[in-house]
Amino acid sequence: MCGIIGVVGRGEVQSSLLDALKRMEYRGYDSAGICVRNSGFLTCRKEAGKLFNLEQSLAKSPLAGSAGIGHTRWATHGIPSRENAHPHLGAGVAVVHNGIIENHESLRKKLIADGVNFQSETDSEVIPLLLSTELGAAEFGTVEMAEAWQCTVEQLEGTYAIVALRAKGDDCLWFARRGSPLLLGRGAAGVYAASDALALAGLADEVLYLEDGDIGCISLSNVEIHQHGAQVERCWQSMPVSEQSSGKAGFDHFMQKEIFEQPRVIADILNAYVQGVDITFPEASLLDDAVLPNRIVMVACGTSYHAALTARYWLERYLQVSVEVDVASEYRYRNPVIGPDTWLITLSQSGETADTLEALRLFKSNTPDNLALTLCNVPESSLARESDGTIPLLAGVEVGVASTKAYTAQLAVLALLVLKIAYECRVMSEADTKRHLAAMRQVVDGMHVLLGHADQVQALTPLFDDIHGALFLGRGPCFPLALEGALKLKEISYLHAEGYAAGEMKHGPIALIDSRLPVVVLAARKYHLQKVLSNLREVQARGAKVILLTDMADQDIPDNVDAVIPLPEGDSFTTPLFAAIPLQFLAYYVARSRGTDVDQPRNLAKSVTVE
Ligand code: G6P
């Protein structure tokens, strides 16, 4: 969702602003803009649509200046248009905002009553207009600005990451954070404020993650951060993302690159966390000598939720523990009964998903003594910082909006987590643990084999021409895989697709089946194979084209299946890891054949920082 950048440079800043905005395109947006300060004047340039439009406009008439702010907007209040794009201006100030100002209506009414004019329909525009009202017309110095800034921010309810720039009076970026991500950066060419570290790849050498409630300013010579009225020190750390690791590395799309990175990610996870039969998660050492809780609650959104659903099968089967899995947006509002002796496991690629974060906060405020773990790909994220322990996913930067390698990393880490707890709690023997770990080590090679079948999957795209939808079916841990396969297809090809528990098909989706509804069937030897094959025959009998993903031997494969994608033979932990790859390829190639924007599909955001 919205991406924020602010730069105070040692030279011109337009190109740094654009670079940073490009690196945040993956977050999802529908308009963009920058504002640059030059000789005491602020000049904005904004365009609806892709960044390309803004770049074209700036190429025709560049904006000179050594300080500026920029924004990619994902519309919440008001349509995607030039007027609603950020930055927004007040008298002598410009502001970019990510989040939602919940009391914007009442603030707007008050400002209008005071004679202030609005130019946009956004909630965000109240911020610069409040700020300029607080500042008054005069040109005050930094001290007065600090007061006006504090006063403005105090009036805001909701969530925000805000960066403000003044036309005159100081050389600072003014910032405030509550609920939406924001970090500061510094490097040879300037100082920065940005929504994520990726935005600053190639610009900053060090970053500082702001905490919720932080407010302050940064200039080339100074940084000041306040929390509850008192000055606080925060740590600078070296830049976690290199410019190189954030590129496409010769692939056509980030998603394609990320699909191909999966064997390396799994190898990194195994190397980092497994030594012989010992599984160690350095940042969650509180799991060493763990005693099995009464109940485990897993909460996540989107693809991360699907990883949690698969893990439920493993946790219940091997640990015999009661497991509840929910999407964060429901969990946080349904007054969940948490009770003692319960662990929370949140899963998130970004660690900034607003609902997941609020679910964690709800859990911790209700039962502070219960353990809250997160499996997260960004160890510096809010979710990681607020959890009792973090297991980093080690997937590296994921840029494609549709999650791929972070998903298989979640599955791999979850499998290791189950094996670790099962072994330590003595519910799994050493021999069985070794056997499962040996199977996990086979995943790297198996994934390489599957990546070699990309062309075979691409050849299936005609089956998705002229269809009215697609159905994905599976049982057991392959049921969440079916959900994930459908979600991937839907997200990037804009085709309607549904994932269903194969046994539930007769209770609805069967009515949709005809020759224009391709059905992808996930049939694994380990998971109720014969029952899935019965469902497959029911689908065939109604004229659907069937694509079968299976680890069955060739001779056992049913006749008249339209396409078979062979999977390496897996054990109960590894089959989902294998099945993910052809499902990702299927979505990817169908999307390509339909000419959609694979890496930045319409309306979607990578990091959903508002609820
Ligand atoms: C968005 C993304 C998905 C992601 C979901 C949860 O919808 O487009 O790819 O699975 O958010 O995000 P998280 O960062 O919490 O895993």
Cα dihedral 507, 511, 513, 514, rounded to 10, equals: 160
50: annotated active-site residue: no
Is 365's pLDDT higher than 80? yes
2: annotated active-site residue: yes
Q: What is the phi-psi region of residue 394: left when phi exceeds 0, alpha when psi lies from -120 to 50, beta otherwise?
A: left
State the pTM of this model.
Answer: 0.85
Query: Cα–Cα distance between 355 and 364 in angstroms, integer?
Result: 14
Is 267's pLDDT higher than 70? yes
The residue from 2, 217, 301, 478 that is catalytic is 2
Percent of the chain having pLDDT more than 90? 82
Provide the CATH topology of domain 249-441: Rossmann fold (3.40.50)
Is 139's pLDDT higher than 60? no
Is 283's pLDDT higher than 90? no
Domain ranges of the chain: 3-246, 249-441, 449-596
Average pLDDT over residues 132-143: 70
User: What is the chain's mean pLDDT, rounded?
Assistant: 93
Helices (H), 452-477: 454-458
Is any atom of ligand 1 closer than 6 Å to the C-beta of 349?
Answer: yes
Percent of the chain having pLDDT more than 70? 97
Phi, psi of 31, deg, nearest 5:
-160, 165
The answer to whether residues 82 and 30 touch, using CB atoms and an 8 Å cutoff, is: no
Q: How far is the CA of 407 from the centre of ligand 1 (A)?
A: 10
Query: Cα–Cα distance between 490 and 167 in angstroms, integer?
Result: 45
Average pLDDT over residues 296-325: 96
Say if residue 436 is exposed, middle or buried (CB neighbours under 10 Å; 0-12, 13-18, 19+): buried
Query: Cα–Cα distance between 267 and 261 in angstroms, integer?
Result: 10
Is any atom of ligand 1 closer than 6 Å to the C-beta of 604?
Answer: yes
Task: Say what the pLDDT of residue 526 is.
Answer: 84
Report DSSP state, residue 211.
P
With cut-offs at 50, 70 and 90, classify the pLDDT of residue 233: very high
Residue 432: how many CB atoms within 10 A of its CB? 14
Helix (H, G, I), strand (E, B) or coil at 373: strand
pLDDT tens, residue by residue, 141-178: 666 899 999 999 999 999 999 999 999 989 999 999 99
Task: Please determine whether the domains at 249-441 and 449-596 fall in the same fold group of CATH.
Answer: yes
Which segments within 49-151 are labelled E, that is strand? 67-73, 88-90, 93-101
Average pLDDT over residues 293-301: 96
- 450 vs 142, higher pLDDT: 450
Residues shown for the chain: 611
pLDDT tens, residue by residue, 386-410: 999 999 999 999 999 999 999 999 9
Helix (H, G, I), strand (E, B) or coil at 304: helix
In one-letter notation, the amino acid at residue 280 is T
Query: Cα–Cα distance between 73 and 29 in angstroms, integer?
Result: 5
Dump the DSSP string for 177-197: EEBS--EEEEETTEEEEESSG
Task: Say what the pLDDT of residue 141 is.
Answer: 60
Say yes or no: domain 3-246 is CATH 3.40.50.720.
no
Q: How far is the CA of 411 from the centre of ligand 1 (A)?
A: 15
Q: Which of 29-33, 139-143, 222-226, 558-562 has the lowest mean pLDDT?
A: 139-143
Our mutation pick for probing the ligand 1 site, out of 345, 346, 350, counting the most ligand atoms within 8 A of Cβ, is 350
Task: Say what the pLDDT of residue 559 is.
Answer: 85
Is 299's pLDDT higher than 70? yes
The answer to whether residues 389 and 287 touch, using CB atoms and an 8 Å cutoff, is: yes
The answer to whether residues 361 and 340 touch, using CB atoms and an 8 Å cutoff, is: no
Task: Say what the pLDDT of residue 143 is.
Answer: 61
Architecture of the domain defined by 449-596: 3-Layer(aba) Sandwich (3.40)
Q: How far is the CA of 351 from the centre of ligand 1 (A)?
A: 9
Closest atom of ligand 1 to 356 CA is: 15
Is 611's pLDDT higher than 80? no
Angle at 165 between CA 161 and CA 171, to 5 degrees: 125
Query: b/e for 387-415, b at 16 or more Cβ within 10 A?
Result: bbbbbbbbbbbbbbbbbbbbbbbbbbbbb
Average pLDDT over residues 107-117: 94
The answer to whether residues 502 and 475 touch, using CB atoms and an 8 Å cutoff, is: yes
